[in-house]
Amino acid sequence: MNSVPFEMGPIRPVDEADSLLIRTTRGCPWNRCTFCTLYDDMKFSLRSVSEIKKDILAAKEYFKGHPFETCFLQDGDSFVMRTKDLIEILETLRKAFPSLKRISSYGRAQTMVKKTPSAMKEIFNAGLNKLYCGMESGSVQVLESVRKGITPESIIKSACMAREAGMDTTQFIILGLGGKKLSKLHAIETAKVLNEINPDYIRLLTIGVKPGSGLDRQMAKKEFSLPSEAQIIAEQRLLLEHLEGITSHYANHHSVDLLLEIRGQLPGDKNRLLAILDRFLSLSDVDQINFVLGRRLGYYRQLSDMKNDIQYRAVEKQTRKIRQTDPDSFEEIFHNLRIQVI
């Protein structure tokens, strides 16, 4: 039950923590990705313009002149709205909250390619100036295997159209989504697509297979095999190595990511970021396990925290206990800790 007098959806991007949230759609119009359980119990619906406008006015009344600078349109894809309806909502929002500098939304590639470049420009001019896209991978095989319902072509076309219209774009990538089998392909093909788009922001997320998801069932049938933490870092290294000629801001920014210090501006910071990944990969097996467990349990925030002898020994005590009971269970434990934060 909402404690505010207007409707709110279940999620927002990490970067929208301080934003006004206005719900334009309920759920996801696709809702078939095998790794996603977000809207499992929710039937997709478009909210009517009058309903959304009522919410905007209720939010205005509720927040009483709060100078919001950012607003995020929930839930999964505001571009399914008719262009003229979306523009009406954006205009109402800007009138009700004149301090807004940024209005953002998720956008599905397959929906956005149905808009014309001039419609995208009109939407941008009406105020929607930031777009979050979950491309997840640039590999056809990976996209098909997780039933993402988008193609590298639609990802590139929609992202380029949004950028040309003037929108800031963020692309989310899920590390490990191709499993062990498609890991290399996932890294290299994703880099290729990102090189074509040159998004403003690239955000990496590390895979966590939610119980009850399609991917979980595939894993149980041994059709999908989860890469280890070190393999996921090696995958990321390959991806980053293949990013060429782009100027995106690149970051691991979700607590599910192992190396939160991977954050920088391309191309200038590329070598520095590769060096951090290499630092992890060159650790001994014992230290890799110590770092991953320490990071996942909250002892460490970054690699250099391992130098703190007290923390290192505290984590070592935990790893010793696991080795004594089940030395083969580390990766399972790491994965379980990951899914607790997504």
Residue 165: half-sphere exposure toward Cβ, Cα within 13 Å: 27
Name the residue nearer to ligand SF4 (CB basis): 100 or 175: 175
| CA–CA distance, 192 with 246 (Å, rounded to integer) | 11
The least CB distance from residue 137 to ligand SF4, in Å, is 12
Interacting stretch for ligand SF4, rule CB under 6 A, among 29-37, 196-204, 212-220, 300-308? 29-37
Residue 165 found at the interface with ligand SF4 (CB under 6 A)? no
Q: How far is CA 174 from the centre of its chain?
A: 7
Q: Is 201 helix (H, G, I), strand (E, B) or coil?
A: strand
The least CB distance from residue 36 to ligand SF4, in Å, is 3
Residue 159 found at the interface with ligand SF4 (CB under 6 A)? no
* Closest C-alpha to 251, from 317, 206, 294, 215: 206
| CA–CA distance, 77 with 29 (Å, rounded to integer) | 7
Contact between 126 and 82 (Cβ < 8 Å): no
DSSP one-letter string for 311-338: HHHHHHHHHHHHHHH-TT-HHHHHHHHH
Residue 227 found at the interface with ligand SF4 (CB under 6 A)? no
Q: How far lies 1's CA from each of 4, 80, 209, in Å?
A: 9, 26, 28
Interacting stretch for ligand SF4, rule CB under 6 A, among 26-34, 176-184, 218-226, 250-258? 26-34
A 10 A CB-CB count for 50 gives 9
**Contact residue for ligand SF4 among 20, 21, 22, 38 (CB under 6 A):** 38
The least CB distance from residue 8 to ligand SF4, in Å, is 16
Interacting stretch for ligand SF4, rule CB under 6 A, among 24-32, 45-53, 251-259, 269-277? 24-32
Q: Which residues pair with 105 in a beta bridge?
A: 73, 131
3-state helix, strand and coil shares in percent for the chain, rounded to the nearest 5: 45, 15, 40
Name the residue nearer to ligand SF4 (CB basis): 36 or 131: 36
| CA–CA distance, 253 with 34 (Å, rounded to integer) | 23
Q: How far lies 214's CA from each of 23, 40, 162, in Å?
A: 27, 11, 31
Provide the mask over 116-155, with x wherever binding to ligand SF4 is found by CB under 6 A and - wherever it is not. Answer: ------------------x---------------------
| CA–CA distance, 313 with 111 (Å, rounded to integer) | 52
CA geometry: angle 314, 318, 321, nearest 5 deg: 140
Residue 76 found at the interface with ligand SF4 (CB under 6 A)? yes
Interacting stretch for ligand SF4, rule CB under 6 A, among 23-31, 82-90, 185-193, 274-282? 23-31
**Contact residue for ligand SF4 among 20, 21, 22, 28 (CB under 6 A):** 28
**Contact residue for ligand SF4 among 33, 103, 194, 240 (CB under 6 A):** 33
Residue 174 found at the interface with ligand SF4 (CB under 6 A)? no
Name the residue nearer to ligand SF4 (CB basis): 76 or 208: 76
The least CB distance from residue 115 to ligand SF4, in Å, is 17
**Contact residue for ligand SF4 among 8, 31, 88, 337 (CB under 6 A):** 31
| CA–CA distance, 161 with 83 (Å, rounded to integer) | 15
Task: Count interface residues toward ligand SF4 (CB under 6 A).
Answer: 11
Interacting stretch for ligand SF4, rule CB under 6 A, among 28-36, 86-94, 123-131, 234-242? 28-36
Name the residue nearer to ligand SF4 (CB basis): 32 or 301: 32
Binding residues for ligand SF4, rule: CB under 6 A, are: 28, 30-33, 36, 38-39, 76, 108, 134
